[in-house]
Structure 1
């Protein structure tokens, strides 16, 4: 997936029009359209503003995620995980991995 496709995907997931997103990140709608259609590449500052707005990394937008990295995420509001809880999460990951391999 190219960077423009990722930008368009993020924008539509957040139910924003091109004009709305362009205004929020300080560019023209035409520029955003060119990025989404992979006709032009955003400069570094614009790329950072897009990433910050959607709370993703610039690497994500550029399609530079490492395939061998495993990420398990848990959403929580103002909650600090104890060391014991983190260890339990690791054990559960291993349990699920082993179950899949059986």
Structure 2
């Protein structure tokens, strides 16, 4: 039987780098397109948070109950605080190109 094992240090470093890049990629912008994802799956909670944060609803998101909005990160974080809503960036690869001209 042939065993294949990777050295632990490089595997750990690659895992940390991948985690950091994922966090950076999914961090919401200060202002712009964001994805609101309810942990409970309730779209009404997402709409309420978007309205309280004075965000414009764009489209339904790729995850159940999620919505793509345009707004201010600080206002949306305040509105989402304690309501079980994740605030993420809305990358085109995950959310699709919804508007003409290539902007989300």
- TM score, norm. by length of structure 2: 0.27
- Larger fraction in strand: 2
- TM score, norm. by length of structure 1: 0.27
- Larger fraction in helix: 1
